[in-house]
C-alpha cells in the first residue's frame, strides 16, 4: 500500500459521517489497524474476522477522533460526531471477502509471516527490520487490492439498518 492509501484511509476515518458507506469505512479501519501480514492471513485461514480483534486497541485520528477496537466492535468517536460510528468485525471481513484476495497476495503474506516467525535472531537482530518491512508490505498489498473502487461496491448494503448507535 502506498503512503497515499494510508493517507486516504486516515482521511476517510477523520471525515466519516453516519452516511459514509460501511464497506469503505471498514476498509479504512482495516488498512490502518490490521495491516500486518498476519491479519489478512489469519482471516483467510479462519474466515472469522473476530480473530483479528484485539482485547482493546485505541489510536488517535485526525480531527480529534479516536478509533477504538475491541473484541465486540469497532468504534470511531469524538471529533464532530453526534454519535459514535460503529462497525462490526463482520463488516471488515466482508471487505476481505470482496473477491480480490488472490492466491498471490496470500502467498506473500504467508512468506512474510514465515520469515517473521523463523527469524534467527528472534524478534530482533540483523535483518529484523527487513522482515518487519516485508510483513507490512504484504499486509498493505492486501488492503490496497481490497479497497472498494466500483460505485456499486461502495453501495451501502446495510443502508436500511443504518450505522449502529
- Say if residues 131 and 117 touch (Cβ distance below 8 Å): no
pLDDT of residue 105: 94
Model confidence band, residue 18 (pLDDT cutoffs 50, 70, 90): confident
- Of 11-25, 32-46, 138-152, least confident by mean pLDDT is 138-152
Which cell numbers in the block locate residue 9?
484511509
Distance between CA 91 and CA 146 in Å, rounded?
A: 13
Which SS3 state, helix, strand or coil, does residue 12 take?
Answer: helix
The answer for 59, left when phi > 0, alpha when psi is -120 to 50, beta otherwise, is beta
pLDDT of residue 163: 44
Q: Is residue 15's pLDDT more than 80? A: yes
Q: Is residue 76's pLDDT more than 80? A: yes
pLDDT of residue 156: 46
Task: Kindly give, in sequence order, each residue whose CB lies less than 8 Å from that of residue 33, ignoring residues fewer than 6 positions away.
Answer: 57, 59, 67, 69
- Say if residues 26 and 69 touch (Cβ distance below 8 Å): no
Distance between CA 143 and CA 8 in Å, rounded?
A: 12
Element (H, E) at 67: strand 65-70
Instruction: Render pLDDT for 110-159 as a digit per residue (tens, 0 to 9).
Output: 999 998 888 887 777 788 888 889 999 999 999 999 998 654 444 444 44
- pTM of model > 0.85: no
What are the angstrom distances between the C-alpha of 93 and each of 18, 97, 108, 124? 20, 6, 19, 31
Mean pLDDT of the chain: 84
pLDDT of residue 21: 85
- The residue assigned the cell 498489498 is 141
Element (H, E) at 57: strand 56-61
Amino acid at each position: 500500500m502506498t503512503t497515499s492509501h494510508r493517507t486516504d484511509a486516515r482521511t476517510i476515518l477523520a471525515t466519516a459521517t453516519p452516511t459514509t458507506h460501511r464497506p469503505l469505512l471498514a476498509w479504512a479501519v482495516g488498512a490502518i489497524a490490521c495491516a500486518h501480514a498476519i491479519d489478512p492471513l489469519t482471516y483467510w485461514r479462519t474466515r472469522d474476522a473476530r480473530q483479528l480483534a484485539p482485547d482493546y486497541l485505541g489510536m488517535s485520528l485526525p480531527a480529534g477522533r479516536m478509533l477504538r477496537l475491541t473484541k465486540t466492535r469497532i468504534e470511531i468517536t469524538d471529533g464532530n460526531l453526534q454519535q459514535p460510528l460503529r462497525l462490526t468485525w463482520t463488516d471488515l471481513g466482508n471487505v476481505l471477502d470482496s473477491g480480490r484476495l488472490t492466491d498471490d497476495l496470500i502467498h506473500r503474506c504467508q512468506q512474510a509471516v514465515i520469515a517473521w516467525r523463523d527469524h534467527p535472531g528472534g524478534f530482533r537482530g540483523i535483518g529484523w527490520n527487513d522482515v518487519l518491512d516485508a510483513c507490512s508490505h504484504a499486509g498493505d498489498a492486501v488492503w490496497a487490492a481490497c479497497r472498494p473502487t466500483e460505485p456499486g461496491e461502495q453501495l451501502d448494503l446495510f443502508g436500511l439498518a443504518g450505522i449502529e448507535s
